[in-house]
Structure formats: structure tokens, C-alpha cells
Amino acid sequence: MEGIVERYFRRHIPIAPLAVFRVIFGGIMLVSIVRFALNGWIYELYVQPDYFFSFYGFEWVQPLGEPGMYLLFLVMGLSALFIMLGWHYRVASVLFFLTFTYVELIDKTNYLNHYYFVSIISFLLILVPANRYFSLDLLRKPGLRAEYVPAWTINIFKLQLGLVYFFAGTAKLNADWLLNAMPLRIWLPANADLALIGPLLEYPATAYLFSWAGAFYDLSLVFFLLYKPTRRYAYAAVVVFHLMTAALFQIGMFPYIMILCTLIYFSAEFHEQIIEKTGDLWRRISFVKRGKIVAGESPAGTKTFNYRPTVASVLTAVLVIHFVLQLLLPLRFALYPGNLFWTEQGYRFSWRVMLMEKAGNTTFNVRNPETGDRWQVSNYQYLTPNQEKMMSTQPDMILQFAHYLEEQYQKEGMDDLQITAESYVTLNGRRSTLMIDPEVDLTEVEQGFHHKDWILPFPENQQSWFGSHRK
């Protein structure tokens, strides 16, 4: 154990991979933010809606109005640029983490695994000296330069990426994915018009091949990346896999984020070559000396960065807590009964990427006990089409919206109303089935992390009707 700690955490190794990772992360975040703004998504997602589905415990995180949201994204974009350049890096990394995570917490309708991943990586970047090499900060303070850093400052990113791949792989070890090739049997035929491979995507055998290959890829990739003789082949698989998912599915920047961030597994010599190839200008700016960096103990004449003992102790505690949470959060679903994909209790923040096709329609019925009046809610009067779509299949959002409706009616002078939900949902090609007990008054149900016993049991024995007529 002592040898592992010494090798991966205590010893000093070249800083080049950390510097390149900083540049790559900052650059792709800047591109993502510009793309987000140019597509009009700031207004569409954070200004236009009248209601936002807050995360439980973060109800205080609210949009800042139209000028405030545009200003928030401007600060976020500038922070990403400064991270990339290594200019006032410490302030920039803190600002980026706070602004990005704030936006992420405004509305769970927009939750994506890679948003969560970005928040985590930006948090870890706050803790490391990624600006002490290949950085504009060295123009301000040349004394910041360091060529060797503690191994943990680089290995925490490898570990975080490894956890993402590992949990994404274990999540695929379920009957729908392996035995039914779901939801790929639904998604792949939609791309049948693609050149060359399109017709093949209509066959169930292709969906099974993709399902099993995807599970093997996620579960084994990190081991092949860590082993030097197989690293280049493993990275080639990363590029092919993510470019293929980008072509087949509309998942935004996630494939490119993973392709570029996975470069952290390559050697210091590899990253030093990247820096060298940027040319003499960047070499002068970053005070990088010619010649390769050799991994191992720092040779005489090079500058090594060390944290002060008190800072090192605090960072150790922070990282231990962080990675314990990273191990436990994806497993919390085991605390709840029922089918995870059906109840979604413990689903978010667990690296379950593209594992289900879920669609539904939810009607809210309101009854006034005093007058006996009954009516149905027109969801579109309160929600955007995307919000209504996401809410209709996620029990916690259904409950949230019922409480919001109660508040709106109370403002109109109608108290003590009963609100129930009739929610029909289809999961991975199965027939549409009631998900919420239509007799439960949701205004009487408390929000929280406790088990939602008003979710009806998933019909485990229900056969999938999808694909029975496909070739």
C-alpha cells in the first residue's frame, strides 16, 4: 500500500500533462459556451421559462433575469478563456466552477452527465498548480514556474475519468442493455439513412453488437490506457467510439470533451511534444526549456512545486471526501426498492449514460373539496415543451410541479385543493403503463430523498413489443 501511495501521490512527476490538460479543458469549455450562446440556448433555457425545476436543497439557485444570465455566461466564458491561457488562473478556475455549477443547478430539466463531469473537473482544477507551466501567469510572476509537481495533481484526473468509465460500464450490466439490446434497438434504426453503415443499423444483431461492445469498452478501457503498450490502441478506440456516438446521437460536446480529456493518460514526454510543437512563441511565453522531460525524480537544476504542510493536509481531506462521494453516489440507488430506470431514485449523478428510452404523458387532475369542482391542468401554460417532456417521465419532477400548481392556485385564493397525476410512461419499448398512483394527492406528499411509495411498481414481466416486426 505504501508503494502505491508513493508512486501515485507523493513522488514528483513532470507537470506537462497537467498544463496541457488545463489548456484543453479551458479551450473546449470556451467553444462549448460560445456554441451555447450562438444557438440561443441561454434565452431558451434560462430566460424564457416561467418555472424552473430546482434540485432538492438548492431551491435558492434561481435564474438572474435576462441581463443577469447573459452576464453570468460572459463571466463563465472569460473564465474558460483565462483557464486555457493560464492567466490569473486561480481566480478564473474558481469563477468558472461557481458560474458553471450555478447554471447547472437552476433547472434539472437540463441535467446531463457531462455537465456534472465539467463541474467536477473544474472543481479539481482549483486544487492543482496547473498554471505553473505553459502559462501566461508566468509573464506576471516568473517565480511561479515549476517543472515537477506532486503526482496526485495529475493522477486525480485519471482517477476521476476512470470512475466515470467504470460506473458507465457497470451500469450497462443489466438485462435491458445486454439481453434486449435496449435502447439501441430503438435508436439505431433512426440512422438508417446514413451512408454505408445505415442499412446495417436496422438489424437487431447490430444493436446487440453495439451493446456488448459498449459495455466491454467502458469496463476495460482504463486498464488499457494505463498500460503503456496498449495505450495508443486504447486511445484510438476512444476516438472511434466517441466520434461514432457523436454521429449517431445528438449528445452535444460530450464526445469531444471525453476524447480530449482522456489524453491525460499519456506520458509526460507525449505532452511535452505537444507543447514543443506549439512553436517558439508559446515556449518563450511559458519559459519552457527545449528538450524532453523525463518522468521520475526531478533532476538537479529543475524547479519542483510543493504544497505547504497545512495546505497539503487540507487538500488531502478534501480529496478523500470527494472521491468517497464519487464512489458512493452512483451506488445510492441500492437504498431504494424498485426498478431504477422506472423510479429514477438515485439515477442522477451516477454516470448512467444513454441507458434508456423513456417517454410519457402526464395529466394533472385538480379537485376542490369545498365546491366539488374538477378540472385538468394545461401543462403548456406553465412549462416549455422540453420541460413538460422531461417532467412527464420523472417522478420527482412530477411531484415538484404538483406543488408548484398548488402554490399558483393558492395565489388565486383557492386553498386545500387536491392534485393527482395520471402518468402513462413507456420504458425501453414496453407498452405505456401507469407510473404514478392516480389516487394519491400529491400536495400532501413531502419532497425529499426518502422512498417514493406513490410510484407504482414497474411491470417487470411485461414483454417489450418493440422490434417484434423488425428484421
Query: Taking Cα atoms as reference points, which of 328, 347, 350 lies closest to residue 339?
Result: 347
Say whether 360 sits in a helix, a strand or coil. strand
pLDDT at 290: 43
Whether 240 and 292 share a structural domain? yes
Q: Are residues 303 and 427 in the same domain?
A: no
Residues in the chain: 471
d(CA 377, CA 379): 6
Q: Write down the pLDDT at residue 145.
A: 93
Smallest CA-to-CA distance from 403 within 421, 424, 378 is with 421
Looking at residue 297, what is its pLDDT? Answer: 46
C-alpha cell at 13: 512527476
Q: Residue 200: CB partners within 8 Å, gap ≥ 6?
A: 206
In a domain, 25, yes or no: yes
Helices marked H in 227-358: 228-248, 254-261, 268-276, 280-286, 309-328, 340-343
Neighbours of 302 (CB within 10 A): 15
Q: What angle do CA 403, 406, 412 make, to 5 degrees?
A: 150
Residue pLDDT, tens place only, 393-444: 999 999 999 999 999 999 999 989 999 999 999 999 999 999 999 999 999 9
Q: Are 178 and 253 contained in the same domain?
A: yes
Tell me, yes or no, whether 321 and 361 share the same domain.
no
Q: At what angle do helices 65-85 and 16-38 cross, to 10 degrees?
A: 150
> Taking the chain, what is the end-to-end CA distance rounded to the nearest angstrom?
54
In 3D space, the residue among 168, 159, 171, 180 whose CA is nearest the CA of residue 241 turns out to be 168
Tens digit of each residue's pLDDT, the chain (471 residues): 556 555 666 799 999 999 999 999 999 999 999 999 999 999 999 999 999 999 999 999 999 999 999 999 999 999 999 999 999 999 999 999 999 999 999 999 999 999 999 999 999 999 999 999 999 999 989 999 999 999 999 999 999 999 999 999 999 999 999 999 999 999 999 988 888 888 999 999 999 999 999 999 999 999 999 999 999 999 999 999 999 999 898 888 999 999 999 999 999 999 999 998 875 555 555 444 444 444 444 554 568 899 999 999 999 999 999 999 999 999 999 999 999 999 999 999 999 989 999 999 999 999 999 899 999 999 999 999 999 999 999 999 999 999 999 999 999 999 899 999 999 999 999 999 999 999 999 999 999 999 999 999 998 766 555 544 333
What does the angle CA 193 – CA 197 – CA 198 come to, to the nearest 5 degrees? 20
Give, as one character, the DSSP assignment of residue 7.
Answer: I
Distance of CA 119 to the CA centre of its chain: 8
Q: Within this chain, do residues 118 and 252 fall inside the same structural domain, yes or no? A: yes
326 and 369 share one domain? no
Instruction: Residue 418: give the domain boundaries.
Output: 357-444
**Which residues are paired to 365 by β-bridges?**
376, 420
- How does DSSP classify residue 174? S
Verify that 263 and 308 share a domain, yes or no: yes
Tell me whether residue 471 is in a domain. no
Which residue is it, cell 501515485? 8
Q: Give the number of other Cβ atoms within 10 Å of residue 317's Cβ.
A: 10
> Residues 77, 161: one domain?
yes
Phi and psi torsions of 243, nearest 5°? -65, -35
Looking at the 3D structure of the chain, how many domains does it have?
2
Report the distance separating Cα 173 and Cα 241, nearest Å: 19
Mark whether 164 and 283 lie in a shared domain: yes
CB 100 within 8 A of CB 80: no
Contact 422, 374 (CB under 8 A): no
Domain assignment present for residue 327? The answer is yes
Cβ atoms within 10 Å of 23's Cβ, excluding its own? 22
Query: Cα separations (Å) of 357 from 182, 185, 412, 418, 428?
Result: 8, 10, 38, 31, 5
Residues 302 and 398 in one domain: no
**Residue 461 belongs to a domain:** no
Q: Which pLDDT does position 81 carry in this prediction?
A: 98
* Domain end among 315, 332, 349: 332
In angstroms, the CA 190 to CA 208 distance is: 16
Which tens digits make up the pLDDT trace of 68-101? 999 999 999 999 999 999 999 999 999 999 999 9
Cβ atoms within 10 Å of 279's Cβ, excluding its own: 9
* Single-letter amino acid code for the residue at 11: R
What is residue 152's three-state secondary structure? helix
Cα dihedral sign, 335-339-342-348: positive
Do 206 and 290 lie in one domain? The reply is: yes
253 in the same domain as 160:
yes
